[in-house]
Amino acid sequence: MILKKDSTIPLDKFIDKVLYDKNKGYYMNSNPIGAGGDFITSPNISIMFSEMIAVWLISFWEKIGCPKNINIVELGAGNGEMMYQILNTFKKFKNCKKSSNFFIFEKSRYLKKIQKRKLKFENIKWVNNLKFSKFPTIFIANEFFDALPIKQFVNKKNTWYEKYIVNKNNSFNFFDKKIKKEAIEKLLKHKIFKNQKFIEFSPLGNKILGSITNIIRKNNGGLLIFDYGYNSRIMFDTLQSVKKHKKNNLLKNIYKADITYLINFNFLKETIKKLKISSINLTTQRKFLLKMGILERAEIVSKNMPFSKKSDVHFRIKRLIDKKQMGTLFKVLFATNKKNNFSLGF
C-alpha cells in the first residue's frame, strides 16, 4: 500500500512513490511511450525532430571551437529513440562524432533495458549521477522536468498551505496543511511575488538544475530543454494524470498512470539566473524547428516518395509545429555561459 490507513504524505513524496517506487513505480515497470502506451513524445512522432537536435548539437560544438572532447548527456531517454537518431545523424559528421562522449541519465531500470537493446551497437554510457569529466557538457532534456515530483502551495486568506494526500478508510483525498511563508521561500530559493496565490515547483528539479549549471559554469556547455509549459510570472495548478492518452483522476489507477505538470518557464529562467548562468534563450517548439529547417528537411526526404508516404511525413511534422497541437504548447529553453553567444534556433 502506498499510504497506510489514516496517514498523510506531501504531494511530491506521493508522486515520487507512484512514479519511481523500485518495485511498483509507473516508470520502473513499463514503457508508457507510444500509441499503445499512455502518451507519445516528439522523437517518436518524427525522426526529423531528433535530426534537428543533432544538427543543433554539431553547430554548438563548432561554435565553441570544435573541442577534442565534449560530453552529450540525455536526461531521461524514454525508449532511446532520440539518442538513436542523434547518433545516426552524427555518423555523417565524423570529426564531431569522434569528439563526442555520449551519456544517458536514466532512473528507470525498465526503460534502461529498452534503451540498451536499441543502442547496443553504440558507444554510450549510462550514469546514475551528474558527475562528468572536465569537458564541455551539453545536457538535453525532452519531457524530463515535467516527470519530476512537485510540491504545491496555496494562499487562502493570507495563510499559506501545502498540498498533502491523506488515506481515510483506504480512500485517498487531498487536504491542505498550514506552512509558513518563510519555509516555502527557503525551498523555492525565491521571494514569493506579491500577487502570487499559488505555487507549483519541483525541489528535485531545482537540485538537478544546480548540478547541471555548476558543470556548465566550470567546464562550459549548456542545457537544452523541450517541454510543455507556459511563460508567466503568476503560477497556477497544472497537475494532471494521463492514462491511454486521456486524462485520469490522479488518485485513481495508482502505479498505472502518469503524473505530470506544465513547466513554468518564467520560474525556470529565474532559477537558472540565480545559479549564475546568464545566457538564456526561450522560444516555442514551432519556431525552433522551423528555424532549424525542419520543413526544408522534410521536402528533401520526401521528394521521391509516393504520395501516401509524403503525406505521412508532413502530417507528423504538422503535429510537432502546429499551433493547435504541440507547436506553441511546447517550449524550448537553452541556457549557457554568456561568452558562447549561441542562439541558433531562437
Cell numbers given for 291: 528555424
pLDDT of residue 1: 60
Instruction: Kindly state the average pLDDT of the residues 149-156.
Output: 97
Torsion of Cα atoms, 241 then 271 then 106 then 128, to 10°? -140
Q: Model confidence over 39-49: pLDDT tens digits?
A: 889 999 999 99
- The continuous run of DSSP H or E covering 56 comes out as helix 47-63
Beta pairing class for 137-142 and 70-75: parallel
In a domain, 1, yes or no: no
Residues composing the chain: 346
Is pLDDT larger for residue 30 or for residue 322?
A: 322
Which phi-psi region, left, alpha or beta, contains residue 84 (left: φ > 0; alpha: ψ -120 to 50)?
Answer: alpha
pTM exceeding 0.85: yes
- Quote the domain boundaries for residue 26: 8-336
**CATH number of the CATH domain containing 162:** 3.40.50.12710
Q: Which residues, in sequence order, are bridge partners of residue 283?
A: 332
| Number of helical H runs and strand E runs in the chain | 12, 16
> Do 4 and 210 meet the contact criterion of CB atoms below 8 Å apart?
no
In a domain, 343, yes or no: no
pLDDT above 90: residue 3: no
Mapped onto helix, strand or coil, the DSSP state of residue 244 is: coil
In a domain, 345, yes or no: no
In a domain, 208, yes or no: yes
> Do 265 and 332 meet the contact criterion of CB atoms below 8 Å apart?
no
In a domain, 154, yes or no: yes
> Do 97 and 90 meet the contact criterion of CB atoms below 8 Å apart?
yes
Instruction: Kindly state the average pLDDT of the residues 148-153.
Output: 97
- 238-to-206, 235, 259, 286 alpha-carbon distances in Å: 18, 9, 11, 22
Distance CA(8)–CA(14), nearest Å, equals 9
In a domain, 341, yes or no: no
In a domain, 2, yes or no: no
pLDDT of residue 170: 77
Domain count, the chain: 1
Instruction: Kindly state the average pLDDT of the residues 158-186.
Output: 92
Q: Model confidence over 103-114: pLDDT tens digits?
A: 999 999 999 999
Distance CA(194)–CA(241), nearest Å, equals 30
Alpha helices in 100-180 (DSSP H): 109-118
